[in-house]
Structure 1
Amino acid sequence: MDLQLSQIERVKTITKEDFIKNYFKPQKPVVIEQFITDWPAYNKWSLDYMKEQVGDKIVPLYDDRPVDYKDGFNEPHATMKMADYINLLKREPTKFRIFLWNILKEVPSLQKDYRYPDFGLRLMKGLPMLFFGGKDSYTFMHYDIDLANIFHFHFEGTKRVILFDQKQNKYLYKVPHSLITREDIDFSNPDFEKWPALKNAKGYETQLNHGEVLYMPEGYWHYMKYLTPGFSMSLRAIARKPKNFSKAVYNVFIMRSIDNLMRRIKGQKWIDWKNNQAIVKTNKVLEKEGR
């Protein structure tokens, strides 16, 4: 048995009017296949180009180890020169990923290679973020703290993406006071005996190729697995739905502070309690629904 996933709709290109009407307003994901063919990045951006441009930069690396109470928010697990990291990606599979790497701050010269597209939403121009990964590396299923509208531009190779909207939370073993599901769930090959609620979750999937843009609506859960070494850039626009905007404010200013405080007070017991609550709460939903 597989997850209940529909293929994300695809269009070759799109006007901002059609995007707003057909995808933003109904909050539906879409892949736009040929929207950035006129960007210099479309032809230039590859792992080799990045190595040439920023090979000497020291970059933060993350792997798929479970959250530890001692870890700071988004604290890297290792660091490496970009040239060495790209050599590693090309040589062998690695769990190390680059996550939320701000081009504007780190490599201003790359700005000439892309433009801020007009989708009819005001993009946050100070936050163009890069993400890199090796074959079979993946991000845990999570959603972004600010519940932003995300435009995810993929470069080099292919990447599998699985999305769920916030209505599926009750089936996903969401960890309380955080933005992740249980980290021991393999969303590319889930164990339904261990995680039976996942059978009821309805989501979307696609495979992203070089130069394609994925629109992820506000607060969408996303799991991404690199099928080959590659990288992506995300641009974002703030949550426009009042409910999502207020949730984003709560997450940034209250939820994160509570979580950090409890980690300091209770240590690993807090992490273990949260992980256990993810199962307890989801099982209660199944009982209530008589599944």
Structure 2
Amino acid sequence: MQSSNKQNLIDLCLQTFCSPSRTKSSSIIGESSGSSDNTSKLLAPCGQSIGNLLAHLSTSIRTQTGHQELTLQRLDDLLALAKEKFYAFPFKDVPECWRALFLEASLLEFSALASRKSLSLDEKKDENSDLDVIDDRVIDQMVETMDMALIMVGAPASETMRLAIDCAMDLLQKMHEEIIGDERSTKSPTKRQKISCSDSPSKFKISYQDRFPSISITSPSLLNPITRVTSDEINVNNDEGNMDKFAKHMHQPQDRTLGAEPLIITGSIDPWPARNQKPWSSPSYLLSKTIGGRRLVPIEVGRSYVDSGWGQKIVTFKDFMTEYMLSLAKDGEAKETGYLAQHNLFYQIPSLRNDITIPDYCYVYPPQPHSSCSPALKEKYAQMEELQEPLINAWFGPAGTISPLHTDPYHNILAQVVGKKYLRLYPPRETSKLYARGIEDGGIDMSNTSEVDIGVLEGWDGTIEEQEEERKKFPEAESAKYWDCVLEEGEVLYIPVGWWHYVRGLSASFSVSFWWN
């Protein structure tokens, strides 16, 4: 069966990624580029020799001529050249030609690996091996190649190309499942097995450890709890034709000096597959949707993105799960926090996107930012194009993750799929007491983030000396009025545009944010 999937994958690569018409197609760079030039024009600033080399390598792969290892080496050289340019500019300013080169070379390398002669990586041929299968280690390389392109460059603008990439990764997923099925059929069962990141979903169902660690952080006492309503109480479909209750909540606030207030809605995501038959609370299920944990994800490492020791790195989903989600710190040792934060995981892995649905609340036309919002936020909101669909991001991490106090230029529905989080929200009118940052080193605009560390201010984090220093440094912060909550599994929280919010993971947690305007 894998031979059939392999042939389908090869056909897809040769006909789409290595097609001679690629140089005549529309822009392959992310939609934000707004370019309608074809690929060859995008690549032109890289130099004619690079364009010629790409065309030669594409032909070599498509016609199965030339030396395979030399082809792969040349593609690695092109990828290294493009990556070098990524570090020569601020990321948002990387010229499109180098982005185009990185994506094109990645697609060709993926194709070269898929169509490679079926020998193991050490070039040794096993007489009993099936020459129609792709070596497990080659699948590792293929996934890494494609995911690095998706993370570094973004989704292609062409819907045809996006679908082709999705199809290619889906075929790899099926091939991986077949490999695992074959391996399992040759092994005798063992008692009380631990989760293996390469095992199949069916095997995981019998694993007694298929859950996240039950470690949790004590929730702070709630001072001004956010209102909770059921999904039936705040329906968005009113048969009487009147303004639905959620729209009324946003557009007809009880306190006009506040504007629309935060609101917790219970029961609205209970029907999601992610909460039922395809549970995101199951480590094995998540691993099974990532080609055995091979998919690459960008993560934040450190307590908070405003801390000095904070950093970012790209790791396999398996390594993220093993190191940060499933392992426990040894006694007396501090465990480093890893957080898959604000990542569009769902364009990268569409099968996970199918486990959720966009809440109806995101299709209710929202109000403009409240008059008490900062001029900078109101200007940014006004300049943004109206979204046709919400921006969807994943937030996945262990207990102890922190998003520092900040604002967003969108209205937000935050869905808590797994675990629970503490959130504290301040209305825009309290902005003057929250010490917004400004332009920082490197010209980065941090004006949407507060200098106040809520955890240290409240005595949850830091030493006594650090806590006292925080209060002296930001004397107005303690008098700012806020609303707070523990967002429980299965609930969603509406966060109005411009409201400051601090988020603290109380357990292993998987949230999804839906930004809309």
Give me the TM-score of the superposition, normalised by structure 2.
0.41
% identical equivalent positions: 28
CA distance in 2, matches of 1:121, 1:137: 31
Match for residue 64 of structure 1 among 258, 278, 303 = 303
Whose strand fraction is larger, Structure 1's or Structure 2's?
Answer: 1
Match for residue 513 of structure 2 among 234, 250, 254 = 234
Relative distance call for 1:204 and 1:184 in structure 2 (3 A) is closer
The 5 Å alignment of 1:162-201 reads: 162-177=424-439, 178-182=447-451, 184-186=453-455, 189=458, 191=467, 192-201=471-480
Task: State the secondary structure of the residue aligned to 2:476.
Answer: helix
The 5 Å alignment of 1:20-31 reads: 20-23=247-250, 25-26=252-253, 27-31=260-264
CA distance in 2, matches of 1:202, 1:5: 10
For the pair 1:34 / 2:298, whether they are aligned, the reply is no
For the pair 1:81 / 2:316, whether they are aligned, the reply is yes
The answer for unaligned runs of 5 or more in structure 2 is: 1-219, 237-243, 254-259, 329-334, 366-386, 440-446, 460-466
Conserved 8 A contact 1:60-1:98: yes
Instruction: Give 1:184 deviation, angstroms.
Output: 4.4
Relative distance call for 1:233 and 1:103 in structure 2 (3 A) is same
For the pair 1:46 / 2:281, whether they are aligned, the reply is yes
Instruction: Give 1:23 deviation, angstroms.
Output: 3.9
C-alpha root-mean-square deviation of aligned residues, in Å?
2.8
Which deviates the most, 20-29 or 100-109?
Answer: 20-29
CA distance in 1, matches of 2:294, 2:404: 29
Instruction: Give 1:103 deviation, angstroms.
Output: 3.0
Which residue does the alignment assign to 1:153?
415
CA distance in 2, matches of 1:28, 1:218: 10
Which residue does the alignment assign to 1:129?
393
CA distance in 2, matches of 1:154, 1:66: 21
Instruction: Give 1:176 deviation, angstroms.
Output: 2.4
CA distance in 2, matches of 1:126, 1:66: 24
Conserved 8 A contact 1:162-1:205: yes
Conserved 8 A contact 1:150-1:216: yes
1:121-176: per-residue Cα shift (whole Å, max 9, x none)?
A: 267536211011211121111112xx211000012221111111211111112112
Whose helix fraction is larger, Structure 1's or Structure 2's?
Answer: 2
Relative distance call for 1:66 and 1:112 in structure 2 (3 A) is closer
Higher relative contact order, structure no. (Cα contacts within 8 Å, ≥ 6 residues apart): 1
Structure exhibiting the larger radius of gyration computed from Cα positions: 2
Conserved 8 A contact 1:30-1:215: yes
Task: Name the amino acid aligned to 1:140.
Answer: P
Which deviates the most, 31-40 or 51-60?
Answer: 51-60
Task: State the secondary structure of the residue aligned to 1:8.
Answer: coil
Task: Name the amino acid aligned to 1:129.
Answer: N
Match for residue 327 of structure 2 among 91, 97, 100 = 91
Task: Name the amino acid aligned to 1:134.
Answer: P
1:109-129: per-residue Cα shift (whole Å, max 9, x none)?
A: 122212222224267536211
Task: State the secondary structure of the residue aligned to 2:360.
Answer: coil
Give me the TM-score of the superposition, normalised by structure 1.
0.71
Conserved 8 A contact 1:60-1:79: yes
Conserved 8 A contact 2:295-2:316: yes
Conserved 8 A contact 1:5-1:202: no
1:225-264: per-residue Cα shift (whole Å, max 9, x none)?
A: 11111110011211xxxxxxxxxxxxxxxxxxxxxxxxxx
CA distance in 2, matches of 1:5, 1:224: 16
Conserved 8 A contact 2:394-2:510: yes
Task: Name the amino acid aligned to 1:165.
Answer: P
CA distance in 1, matches of 2:419, 2:307: 32
Conserved 8 A contact 1:160-1:226: yes
CA distance in 2, matches of 1:184, 1:36: 32
